[in-house]
């Protein structure tokens, strides 16, 4: 075999491997469903915050987390059975647990503006890690934009900051889910 043909064979092999890995990654990418489910939960909470006019909604998130995680787990199990390939799920579980703990911790320990925007910044940071795990530029850009928006809103000191952030995060989550679902079908 000549040097040139060895080089071509190696380049062809690497291309083929890269395309196989990408195809499997695409097959495994199911982030759209999680984004949809959490988007609905966030938007519902924003609506409840406005409707409740200060009444406590302490039970909402513990129940919503259990329902969301249950729906997502069921969806992935069903998908694994249908498609025949499963991804390593522990990094996603670890990040979800870290975000939940972080959100509650900063909500309990911080005060003032940081208490309002801290949980959203932690969620955006979690989104960035998810984006890295899913190798998704769209998700990463969305997480950075949401973090910047959160900081800007916190500095602007407007009324109903929390309700606005829940609505914006919910809408962004739904939009991202929709975009990723469309891309997955292409």
Partner 1 sequence: MSTHPSQRLDNIVHQRVRLGILAVLSEARHADFAYLRDTLDLTDGNLSRNLQVLEEANLVEIKKVFEGKRPRTWVTATRAGRAALKAEVAALRELLSQVDGTGGGQKKAKG
In whole angstroms, how close is the CB of 107 to partner 1 at the nearest point? 34
According to the binding rule CB under 8 A, does residue 16 interact with partner 1? yes
Length in residues, the chain? 186
Tokens of 179: 């975009």
Report d(CA 117, CA 176) in Å as an integer. 21
According to the binding rule CB under 8 A, does residue 160 interact with partner 1? no
Q: Mask: binding to partner 1, 17-56, rule CB under 8 A, as x and -?
A: xx-xx-xxx--x----------------------------
Q: Are 180 and 37 in contact (CB under 8 A)?
A: no
Report d(CA 117, CA 175) in Å as an integer. 21
Q: Mask: binding to partner 1, 119-138, rule CB under 8 A, as x and -?
A: --------------------
Q: Which of 135, 139, 114, 111 is nearest to 124 (CA)?
A: 139
- Count residues near partner 1 (CB under 8 A): 27
The site for partner 1 (CB under 8 A) is made up of 3-4, 6-8, 10-11, 13-18, 20-21, 23-25, 28, 81, 83-89
């Amino acid at each position: 075999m000549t040097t040139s043909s060895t080089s071509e064979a190696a380049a062809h092999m690497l291309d083929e491997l890269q395309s196989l890995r990408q195809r499997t990654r695409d097959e495994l990418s199911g982030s759209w469903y999680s984004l949809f489910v959490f988007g609905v939960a966030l938007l519902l909470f924003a609506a409840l915050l406005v409707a409740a006019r200060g009444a406590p909604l302490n039970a909402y998130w513990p129940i919503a987390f259990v329902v969301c995680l249950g729906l997502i787990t069921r969806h992935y199990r069903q998908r694994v059975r249908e498609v025949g390939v499963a991804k390593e799920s522990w990094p996603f579980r670890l990040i979800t647990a870290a975000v939940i703990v972080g959100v509650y911790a900063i909500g309990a320990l911080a005060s003032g503006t940081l208490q309002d925007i801290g949980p959203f910044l932690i969620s955006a940071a979690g989104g960035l890690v998810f984006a890295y795990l899913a190798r998704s530029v769209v998700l990463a850009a969305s997480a950075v934009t949401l973090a910047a928006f959160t900081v800007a809103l916190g500095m602007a000191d407007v009324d109903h900051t929390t309700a606005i952030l829940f609505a914006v995060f919910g809408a962004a989550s739904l939009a991202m889910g929709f975009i990723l679902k469309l891309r997955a079908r292409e």
